[in-house]
Amino acid sequence: MSAINKLERHQARTAYLFIAPTMLLFVIFMVIPVGMALYLSFTNYDVLSRMDWVGLDNYRRLWDDSLLWLTFRNVLLYAVLFVPLNIVVSFGLGLLVNKAWRGIKLLRTLYYLPTLTSAVAAATVWLWLLHPEFGLVNGVLSGLGITGPAWVAETETAMVAIVLVTLWQSVGSNMIIYLAGLQGVPGHLYESARLDGANRWDMIRYITWPQLRPTTFLVSTMAIIGALQLFDQAFVLTQGGPANTTKTPVYLIYQQGFNQLQMGYASAQAFVLAMAILIFTIVNMRITRAEESVI
Amino acid sequence: MKKKWMTLTATVLTTALLAGCSGNSGGSAGGNAGEGGTNSGAAGSGESGGAPVELTFWGDWGGEGQAQFETMAGAFNASQDDIRVKYVLQQDMITKFLTSATSGGTPDILFWDRWRTSLYAPKNVLHPIDELMARDGVERDHYFEESLKELTYNDQLYGLPLTVDARALFYNKTMLEEAGLELPTTWEELATAAKALTKRSGDRLEVAGFSMGDPGLFSMYLQQAGGQMLTADGKTNFNNAQGLEVLSFWDRLMNEDKVYKIGFEQGLGEGTDAFVTGKLAMHYTGPWMLSTYKKYGSELDFGIVPPPAGPGGDLASVMGGFGLVIPEGSQHKEEAWTFIKWWLANKDNAMLWAETSLNLPGYKPALEDPFFADDPLWQPFLETLEFAKIRPQHPGYSVMEVDGLIPNLELFLQRKQSAEETLAKAQTQGDKLLKDNEVIE
């Protein structure tokens, strides 16, 4: 007995040794800063001159902060549009490029290419494409007899424009993740389904989709977190306008902390955002894991 | 989450700066700076004898701007032997300054967007220069009073103006002549000209007569209508007759005469700037666009006039610009002052800077130089600066404008809310933002 214990202890020690570097980095760069930020959210820290304990004042102020809640509504709207579209489009692309056609590698590369572009550069090009009078998008629309809107400048379409641009940029990498998942689905499942008379749609619905549930969970979780932390594309495309319709919490937190030097209050806002992300991730986990995998 | 990364960055930076700067305090305090200070090379005349004092000068101008700053530092270094100034480009200067101000690794001279003074001076991170100015006889009259006011908090002055700017009306000469129009001097003439210059084909706007792309110019229009943005006790002051006057003028341009279309200039970079490509006939902008527009030479024949007067004859423009300040954490304030004085209180050096960078210098005697006074493109700006006023000095002012006022103005311009509702909502939201961001003693 004691020999086994000793072996286990030895193995445990080695395991701890192996994870130590990662854990150390995690503690220094994540746990300590998060703990500090939590502490700061109870102070009136301004980076330069003071850091006094103010209790729940910052959190009380949050209730009346209509602008903060507006930015939350904005990213929620964004997430509702972006997350499902992201899954559908990248799953669809994954299915398409999973075939062993000639030239498929070229297509995969092309679909992936937008992901490699810098977010700011891509947004700048899109601004030009979406220009109301001289842009390509409205040019095509007017060819079809439709007067296109001033995409990024009108309150109704600004968020749609941001969804389009971010979607264009993120489906590539998610397509790769789905592709990896698709190649891992065992072929015998399709074979037996075909013997039982299943058509192509049935196979996607009852084999591919359920088999890819872990992939979908990963993709949707990342998409939700990314959506709630939306910042750079929105900033370049619209600077939060028009009429605050595309202002996001991260933009507001940055402004409050670094431009207005109210780091304590900004930390409180950041914690609300972190909690929101946590809640949505848990909800998403429940939904995606509702059904058990086929095998 | 982003916030956490920033905290982390701040921590790392602080550590790095602490480590980097601990060995830096050895330099002697240097000789007393020379008196008078109107000659170049007036620094302490060789009293210190030993190695020269090294000064660090931070700014966030890269590229051409960096070369311009380096020209000035080089000229100063060549003029005397006691002080060596080195320009260090900091892309994210304010954030770096925040971390350094608390750790002792501050630079000695800081390139400073003046409006930030009302936010930073109350935190005691900038060094007041009143005594140094009085001692060396640097005269306040040599600067625009408004630009000094913007560098002042609680009756203490925190720096000297490096540049001054204000918006004026740029117009396309060719288009104006073709339409046979006089230069607009009042709102009425501006609206008439804008309407006459606009070209449409069906629903398409081909040439916009006048740019309505920046609702942030509201503060200028309000002053032209005889109003003020804030009351003396720091509340918004635009929900009144003057505010309505501005909005009805905008409504006329935008929706009756249709001289502009929302989003018309958005996404157009320098090469495709609507004014350069002849798609925009008139717009408000500042001297910073001059060098860009001049590049197009004869392709773009343009002129400038001061902003037209409002219905009551009031003239207004918003003055802005940069200054140089000395952080409280600097180890060499005396030498830093010597450098600032050499640059900003001496006509020759101010002119060297002006001609290198093509900025209007903050030092008035330099503005009287024929280089500016006789140039038809600079002259309208000199006229405008005579009546231009700075933004109100409230630490929450820019937040009030950006998050409270402008969003409501955008809704108004897109005809989504009435003028009365716009002003009422902007007042409620603006007052709250001002209060949330005021100075806490």
Q: A–B: how many Cβ contacts below 8 A?
A: 135
- A276 in reach of chain B (CB within 8 A): no
Q: Is the ipTM of this complex over 0.90?
A: no
Q: What is the pLDDT of residue A1?
A: 55
Q: How far is A127 from chain B (nearest CA, A)?
A: 5
Report pTM. Answer: 0.85
Sheet with B282-285: list strands edge to edge. B282-285, B168-172, B302-305
C-beta atoms of A154 and B98 within 8 A: no
pLDDT tens digit string along B54-99?
999 999 999 889 999 999 999 999 999 999 999 999 988 998 998 8
Longest dimension (CA), chain B: 77
pLDDT interval class at A6 (50, 70, 90): confident
Domain boundaries, chain B: 21-165+320-385, 173-316+393-436
CATH, domain range B173-316+393-436? 3.40.190.10
Q: Give the closest residue to A267 by CA, choosing from A253, A280, A281, A277.
A: A253
Q: Give the closest residue to A220 by CA, choosing from A83, A88, A115.
A: A83
CA dist B215 → B24, B352, B403, B405 (Å): 47, 36, 12, 9
Asked whether B221 and B232 are in contact (CB, 8 A), the reply is no
Asked whether B90 and B96 are in contact (CB, 8 A), the reply is yes
Interatomic CA distance for residues B367 and B381, integer angstroms: 11
Would you put residue B10 in left (φ > 0), alpha (ψ -120 to 50) or beta? alpha
Share of chain A above pLDDT 70, in %: 97
B328 by Cβ neighbours in 10 Å (0-12 / 13-18 / 19+) ranks as middle
Q: What is the pLDDT of residue B397?
A: 95
- A33 in reach of chain B (CB within 8 A): yes
Bridge partners (DSSP) listed for residue B319:
B166, B390
pLDDT tens digit string along A233-292?
888 888 888 999 999 999 999 999 988 999 999 999 999 999 999 999 898 888 876 555
- Peptide bond before B311: cis, by omega within 30 degrees of 0? no
Neighboring chain B residues of A75 at a CB cutoff of 8 Å: none
pLDDT tens digit string along B120-167?
999 999 999 999 999 999 999 999 999 999 999 999 999 999 999 999
- A39 in reach of chain B (CB within 8 A): no
Domain boundaries, chain A: 59-294
pLDDT tens digit string along A157-210?
999 999 999 999 999 999 999 999 999 999 999 999 999 998 989 999 999 998
C-beta atoms of B437 and A260 within 8 A: yes
Asked whether B438 and B234 are in contact (CB, 8 A), the reply is yes
Average pLDDT, chain A: 90
Asked whether B125 and B329 are in contact (CB, 8 A), the reply is yes
Specify the CATH class of A59-294 in words: mainly alpha
Specify the CATH class of B21-165+320-385 in words: alpha beta
Does pLDDT of B11 surpass 90? Answer: no
Q: What is the pLDDT of residue B270?
A: 58
Q: How far is B123 from chain A (nearest CA, A)?
A: 6
Interatomic CA distance for residues B380 and A281, integer angstroms: 58
How many C-beta atoms lie closer than 10 Å to residue A8's C-beta?
10
The four Cα atoms A22, A25, A31, A35 give a dihedral, to 10 degrees, of 170
